[in-house]
A and B are shown apart, each in its own frame.
Chain A
Amino acid sequence: MTEAYIYDAVRSPRGKGRSDGSLHEVTALDLAAQVLGSVNDRNGLEGHEVEDVAFGCVSPVGEQGAVISRSAVLKAGYSETTSAIQVNRFCGSGLEAVNIAAAKVKAGETDLAVGGGIESMSRVPMGSDGMGGMADPTLVFQEYFIPQGISADLIATKYGYSRDDVDAYAVESQKRAAKAWDEKRFAKSILPIRDVIGEVLLDHDELMRPETDMQSLGALNPAFQGMGEQMPGFNDVAILKHPDVEKMNHVHHAGNSSGIVDGSAAVLLGNELAGEKYGLKPRARIVSMAAIGSEPTIMLTGPEFAAKKALERAGMDKSDIDVWELNEAFAAVVLRFMEAMDVDHSDMNVNGGAIAMGHPLGATGAMILGTVLDELERSNKQTALSTLCIGGGMGIATIIERVN
């Protein structure tokens, strides 16, 4: 089968996903368009070369509705012949979009494509599209749905992660992110976002709190205890599905969970021919991709199974992976993955993650793929596996290998 190569990866900085966030004044359309536009600029493309753009977006309503990627392609000055699709696989959307672009290349449908994502969480808040089928009692009673925070606490309870365990992970994430920024490890991929008069609004991830320590995190109250224990009482629902649990241990809070931010990212993918044709240098190839479904109540344990499937498809062993990147939706998600896969923390999220820098839902998957590619090049390593946990009980993973 045709190989899919990564030619470039670019992302916006992540702005606080609130009305006082630096990117709040930027429309979702413009944020996506600036990132998409930079793909052409950085690679000397005129606009007609990219044939298709797949973009993840988790709340595709309002200004993010109506296939935002097509609007962004037009605004970014791509040729009108460039088509676009908007993808929603919840938190896995950005990576799914990359995988779709890669699959189109591999299948021979497309020579050059972009996969990426957009989420302006300050402008289109999480849940703006309703809860869909997850609010339907027939399914809730069948599957015992609970909110993600309760699922994360369920993971911590079942696998015995204490408040100290998850807080310590969060402190380390902040430390690593701060170091990465200090050493300009993201420099290659960051596109400063500009306002309408061309001034730079944001050129760094503004959510970070490098000063975070165990003490400052210790002062935070568990975020999901109220909805778990009192109204409406999701813990009882969790225990109906997981009756081995006697009592839930609520350990997650804003400080050890992913931050709400605005952001966009894009990855340029193509076959060998396209690279030659347009003078692009391949940085890595897509080795394998996988998406799986997993138990929907605990919901966030999918990365383990997605990673295993991706490894199996590639005929690889976990020891073949040099660098791991798992979206830090909640600290316990990463702790569980490392335990289940026996992955050393020193090889996991080496430059921090969403706990420190934020998780722009539809874009994150494409962002962390770019991050891990930069890291491979920086540390001169070969293979990396990127994965994310996903709402509703799913997981997605992509393995890449540098091309020398």
Chain B
Amino acid sequence: MTYETLTVDIDSDGIALVTIDVPGKPMNVWDDALMAEFPKFVDELNSNDDIKGAVIASGKKSGFLAGADLNMLGSSEAQTMKEAFDMAWGLNATLRRMETGGHSAKDLIKGKAHAKPVACALEGLALGGGLELALACHYRVCADSPKIQLGCPEVQVGLLPGGGGTQRIPRLTGLQAGGMMVMTGQPTNPKGALAQGLVNEVVPAGTTIEKAKAWVKANPKTAAPWDKKGFKFPGGAGSMDPRAVPLYMGSSAIALKQSKGNYEAVKAILSCLYEGSMLPMDTALRVESKYFTKLLSGPQSKNMIRTLFINKQAADKGAARPEGVPASDIKTVGVLGAGLMGSGITHVTAKGGMNVIVLDRNMEEAQKAIDYSQKIVDKGVKRGKMSQEKADAFMARITPTDNYEDLKNVDLIIEAVFERPDVKADVIKKTEAVIGKDIVFASNTSTLPITGLAKNSERPDQFIGMHFFSPVEKMPLLEIIPGDETGDKALAVALDYNSKIRKTPIVVKDVRGFYTNRVFPPYANEAMLMVAEGVNPALIENAAVAMGMPIGPLAIVDETTLQLGYDIMTSTKEEMGDAYVSSGTEDLMELMVKKIDRRGRRFGGGFYEYSDDGSKKLWPGLSEHFPLAEEQPDVEEVKQRLMYIQLIATAQCFHEGVVSDPQSADLGAIFGWGFAPWTGGPMSHIDTIGVDNFVRTADNMAQKYGERFKPPMSFREKADAGESFYKAA
């Protein structure tokens, strides 16, 4: 037979070398074509007497096989659960047929039948369905390279390894190691896989096929370990095994602790491990496919795949880049200001392989950027993550200066000086005096409108905003803000730069606070309002964490400081005069900042008190000033307020065009302020709730809690039209 996605070469020993090379894809994936053809190959393998065994390899340099094509999974058209199951079962059943040679497990165990030996030659990464294909082979040979990733990352997009991964991995490694692998999605390398029993041999690169063939030749009759008599689950399994029971209990507790019960995939994987480990392989695989079907049919995996994989990848690759602008070649970046932000920007720029000239008012200040990076780089060396040589080269890319003349030859300017218009105006003038006429000037700011700043520039079309988040080297988002006069080239250069520092970029409109700082403050505000109402602060913090926020809102306010909130409130009041709309927390701010000196962590404490050992607890004095209400709200009510205040603020931004597409709104929320990732982002979540339901609930909440919960008009229209924001909600 001939195939499109793979070739089969039978050698003189009758061993078929199966080379998978899915056409039109940079990497092998389980796409529709391979899914259609691989079962045919398995039939040929099992039925053709000329084939004595097989070795499966990849025809691509990029690796063995990188899993399922998520675009295909995301667009599953199954109408019923049963149809979805039949599709999910397809791959599992095929791999099982290869493993058993088409015989029954009973015959294999009794030795009445044998499978034809199939080995796998792994010269590169095998992830998800790629690793699962390898695991369904009887023998795995892997090239000796620490860079090869072997793992099942499905959980990270709301799915489980549905090609036998939840069953074969723990049967090879034991429940503990295997369970961790599929629950966290963290990959291992060949040495780790060998130690765990996931692969059988690690050999020099380029020799895997030869070794795999040798094994096939030497083992003409075989069966998987679990299809042989006397198979014992390594480390024990089953509800009566005193080694396994604590593992089942413990892993559920760990998973609950980490997922807060929000991730359906984590739960489903645990059930596959628990139920599957008590079943024979054929039934266990069916159960796995059923849990996979449930996940694939639910909203969570669709939302997570769309935002965390498809849309993130598209944004990272520069989807927002204007067409027709030639690619820029950014070799050297001038960073203005060596404060916390400037130093962070310097660091990520150098990390992106670019040279940095970092300028501050004197050498002592400029040197701070060097110290900042040196500290991080030294840590990397100490932990063995970076060689001394690379560390030295890294640091050599950074040049501190106090002389504007040194900026003469840079390819891009990123300004990160103090957030005051006059200070910014001054450096803009001084810099533009020395840099090339066509050099883009980017201003890092979280509060000042770009169009206003651009007025200080002689080339406003080359002036753009970049909002980095702190700490820059850790925070994954970059807000890019074109001003009124910003041209396509500036936007293209900003995105080109971003692709080198590998952040997730979103392009947002030039309004006060841009996008993320429009949504986050109302959220923090809502938490403080509840404190003022007498809601138990622990309940507020725990509710936020339970719904998937990384830390409680009061804890974040402590970090960003109440002082900052107070300052912003005061300046906004001044600026807006009579038009100022009360947030309801003015009195609380006044009290905390001005009267009782609870200004935030940096000032010795805020909502929390902090111990020297790094621990913190809610400040007991809080209840003196905000006595706990006799009747406390249900946690679901607290969650709803904290969730909807973010949804409404996001909706408002979308309504006003601050973010022009739901994708950016979702990415910005998850990667900007840590919005619950299991939702796929606020816009995905609104779709999941149903726009009409969302509008109705928000209206009810507006009646109960105040106008701030009123949904914007365009959302009402959307609800009336019965539409969703994404096509396939």
Contacts and interface: CB of A to CB of B under 8 A. Distances in A.
The yes or no verdict on A and B being binding partners is yes
A141 B249 CA distance: 11
Interface residues of A, number: 28
B239 A236 contact: no
A245 interface: yes
Contact of B257 (A129, A138, A233): A233
A246 B538 contact: yes
A179 B537 CA distance: 47
Given A131-B245, A137-B274, A247-B617, A239 B252 contact: no
Contacts of A306: none
Nearest to A129: B240
Contacts of A137: 248, 251-252, 255, 267, 270-271, 274
B546 interface: yes
A218 interface: no
A245 B249 contact: no
Contacts of A135: 239, 245, 248-249, 252, 274
A245 B239 CA distance: 32
Contacts of B618: 246
Interface string B237-250: 00110100100111
B328 interface: no
A229 to B, nearest CB: 11
Interface in A118-159: 127, 129-132, 134-138, 140-141, 144-146
B21 to A, nearest CB: 39
Contacts of A138: 267, 271
Contacts of A136: 248, 271, 274
B434 interface: no
Among A138, A141, A234, A245, residue most surrounded by chain B Cβ atoms (within 10 Å): A141
Contacts of A140: 249, 252-253, 256
Interface string A229-241: 0011110110110
A243 interface: yes
B626 to A, nearest CB: 15
Contacts of B270: 137, 141
A243 B261 CA distance: 14
Contacts of B267: 137-138, 141
Interface string B612-631: 00000110000000000000
Contact of B538 (A127, A240, A243): A243
A130 B240 contact: yes
A232 B257 contact: yes
Contacts of A276: none
A236 B542 CA distance: 10
A232 B245 contact: no
A344 to B, nearest CB: 27
B477 to A, nearest CB: 27
A182 interface: no
A132 B239 contact: yes
Contacts of B239: 130-132, 135
Q: At the interface, is chain A mostly helix, strand, loop or mixed?
A: loop
Contact of B251 (A232, A234, A240): A232
Given A137-B274, A243-B546, A237 B539 contact: no
B539 A243 contact: yes
B279 interface: no
A98 to B, nearest CB: 30
Nearest to B538: A246
Contact of A232 (B250, B539, B632): B250
A244 interface: yes
Contacts of B257: 232-233, 236-237
Contact of B261 (A129, A132, A240): A240
B260 interface: yes
Interface string B200-231: 00000000000000000000000000000000
Nearest to B240: A130
B195 interface: no
Nearest to B247: A135
A77 to B, nearest CB: 33
28 contacts: A131-B239, A131-B245, A131-B248, A132-B239, A135-B239, A135-B248, A135-B249, A135-B274, A137-B248, A137-B251, A137-B252, A137-B255, A137-B267, A137-B274, A140-B249, A140-B252, A141-B261, A145-B249, A145-B252, A232-B253, A240-B546, A243-B543, A244-B536, A244-B542, A244-B632, A245-B542, A246-B542, A247-B617
Interface of A: 127, 129-132, 134-138, 140-141, 144-146, 231-234, 236-237, 239-240, 243-247
Given A140-B256, A244-B539, 16 more contacts: A127-B245, A129-B240, A136-B271, A137-B252, A137-B255, A137-B270, A137-B271, A146-B253, A232-B249, A236-B257, A237-B253, A243-B538, A243-B539, A244-B536, A245-B538, A245-B542
**Would you list the 6 A-B pairs with minimal beta carbon distance, nearest first?**
A243-B542, A137-B270, A246-B538, A232-B253, A236-B257, A232-B250
